[in-house]
Amino acid sequence: MLRRPDGFDGTWHVRASWRASADEDWFGSWNHGTDEDALRLEALRPAEWRFELRRDAAAEDPALERFATLTAGQVLSIE
């Protein structure tokens, strides 16, 4: 679960990508917008994940980044 960052109002956007190991490129990015206080992600493959959070999907401003390494069966809440 990704929580809405402080200072983000209205719809906020997440771009997620993953890689199997630290020496590989990021792969499989997707974008999602929500106006909820948290975005629940289900059935993510075990890997290292990068989440880029933005106020606006088309914004050029730097994204807030969150990283998590998921293992099979693990449940995380990412602040």
- Residue 12 lies inside a defined structural domain of this protein: yes
CA angle 28, 33, 34 (to 5 degrees): 135
- Residue 7 lies inside a defined structural domain of this protein: yes
pLDDT (tens digit per residue) in 30-52:
788 999 999 888 777 888 889 99
- Residue 60 lies inside a defined structural domain of this protein: no
- Residue 75 lies inside a defined structural domain of this protein: no
pLDDT (tens digit per residue) in 5-32:
998 889 999 988 999 888 999 987 778 8
- Is the model's pLDDT at 76 over the cut of 80? no
Number of structural domains in the chain = 1
Rounded to whole angstroms, the Cα distance separating 30 from 33 reads 10
- Residue 51 lies inside a defined structural domain of this protein: no
- Residue 37 lies inside a defined structural domain of this protein: yes
Residue 2, domain extent:
1-22+32-44
Rounded to whole angstroms, the Cα distance separating 42 from 61 reads 28
pTM for this entry: 0.79
